[in-house]
Amino acid sequence: MKVLVDTSFLMLCAEKGRDFITLAEETLGEKLECHVLEDVLNEIKMLASRKGKRAAMAAAALKIAEKMQVLKSEIEGVRKTDEKLLAESSRNKFVLATVDNQLIKKARERGLPVLTVKEDQSILFIGTLL
């Protein structure tokens, strides 16, 4: 299964110290092919360049993201990372991995499948594969 991972998902992995990718693979019973947008990497790098606890978490999230396939968005005229995530998920038939409730809502409105983490830290797959 091809998955496009957003900043919130990576930051949650770092914050909780859990490998939610592996947990998702175990839950779904299949290997995930993880991708990350260049824009997401840039967001995380910016967060990591600051000081404090959130910067340390971003540095850990960056290490996770660097193991994924980097995707340069070719969607023209779109500046917001969330819109690029939605567009690239649709275009490439990716499952969107996020814990951002607004992004989940937008993805579902567009009929995109979503992989998220519930409050009890279990994996939830919403939707059907395209």
Tell me the residue range of the domain where 116 lies: 2-126
| Gap between the Cα atoms of 94 and 91, Å rounded | 8
**Percent of the chain with pLDDT strictly greater than 90:** 92
Assign 79 a pLDDT band (cuts: 50, 70, 90).
confident
Q: Are 99 and 12 in contact (CB under 8 A)?
A: yes
- Supply the pLDDT for residue 91: 94
CATH number at residue 106: 3.40.50.1010
User: Is the pLDDT at 114 greater than 80, yes or no?
Assistant: yes
Bridge partners for 116 per DSSP: 124
33-37: strand order across its sheet: 69-71, 33-37, 2-5, 95-97, 114-117, 123-126
Average pLDDT, the chain: 94
Q: How many domains does the chain have?
A: 1
User: Is the pLDDT at 130 greater than 60, yes or no?
Assistant: no
**Percent of the chain with pLDDT strictly greater than 70:** 98
At 25 the three-state DSSP class reads helix
